[in-house]
Amino acid sequence: MTTLDDLPIRDDLRGLSPYGAPQLDVSVRLNTNENSYPVPEPVVEAIGKALAAELRDLNRYPDRDAVALRADLADYLGHGLTADQVWAANGSNEIQQQLLQVFAGPGRTALGFVPAYSMHPLLSLGTGTRWVPARRGVDFGLTVDEAVGQLREHAPDLVFLCSPNNPTGTALDPAVVLAVLDEAPGMVVVDEAYAEFARAGTVSALAVLPDHPRLVVTRTMSKAFGFAGGRLGYLAADPAVVAAVQLVRLPYHLSALTQAAARAALAHRDVLLGTVDAIKVQRDRIVTELRALGHRVADSDANFVLFSVDGDQQTAWQTLLDAGVLVRDVGLTGWLRVTAGTPAETDAFLTAVRRL
């Protein structure tokens, strides 16, 4: 039987495993930061009608540039954005891959402050980009001095910032973002996948976009919109950045069905985003109750919570799984991450945690 070792794959890919969280059939799945609420029936009907309208013309290629969808996304983001400042793809992972393809690649460097989103180094590897894992403070925070010092040391071609950060959940101080923009010699990508869940007063990097042509803000419809199965991510940036990304995008990369479904979802965004406040209530409840039980907990502006456990986190993960609750082991010694879901899911999680 042929194995990977028998194939002439790249040396830097040997010994690696595909990215992915466990997909297990358990009663409470809180490991991938999905929105636990199903798509409301009125939105289901609207998406169904939008898809049906596209079926007869599936013999034709879709709008290569997804102009109507990009206009809808710009309208949603506000900040005076227009369609030529927005680009869309199959999830924010593809968006970030395209950014690495055009602004990084062989002979260039990408830097991120870890722990952060684990796909950033994998996307860098896949595009032949050298990855630099810059460090956060002991409390997972990031100060201006820490960020600037490491940028000066490595002079990366592309910097990833996560705000709110995954897996810690905490949004960045805007002063850190501005300091990185002032210091970075290349592009700065602020990953705002969880921006809709941020606590009151949290400032989006979109606010400083007009003055920073090398800033890119990436978003997704997977989380707050409950559209993870739809696969739609997007960016906001200077029109020149959007034009640059189109140099490497695959032709017709967004199907007509994806574009239609995403536009129908955006047209019903008030309904879809109606679950955000409910999820934030459960997130804050998890933070409060875990701290009352004696766990260290990172402040969260996302739809998940990072919390400490005594001893080996893999053993704690298995104990929770044995109780029917699937959370995420993100590889941080002594820490686990749990998604904030429905009240019933929070009840089940907290009950299971007490077994620890």
* Long-range contacts, 150-153 (Cβ 8 Å, 24+): 150/111, 150/113, 151/111, 151/180, 151/183, 151/184, 152/183
Q: How far is CA 26 from the centre of its chain?
A: 24
Q: How far is CA 243 from the centre of its chain?
A: 23
Structural domains in the chain plus CATH codes = 22-38+274-353 (3.90.1150.10), 41-267 (3.40.640.10)
> From CA 52, how far away is CA 80, in angstroms rounded?
32
Tell me the pLDDT tens digit for each residue of 211-246: 999 999 999 999 999 999 999 999 999 999 999 999
User: Mean pLDDT over residues 136-143, rounded?
Assistant: 91
- pLDDT band per the 50, 70, 90 thresholds, residue 16: confident
- Distance between terminal CA atoms of the chain? 43
Q: Can you read off the two tokens belonging to residue 292?
A: 């009352």
Answer yes or no: are the C-beta atoms of 115 and 168 closer than 8 Å: yes
Tell me the pLDDT tens digit for each residue of 103-132: 999 999 999 999 999 999 999 999 999 999
Is pTM beyond 0.85? Reply is yes
Q: Can you read off the two tokens belonging to residue 122?
A: 């994998």
> From CA 280, how far away is CA 290, in angstroms rounded?
15
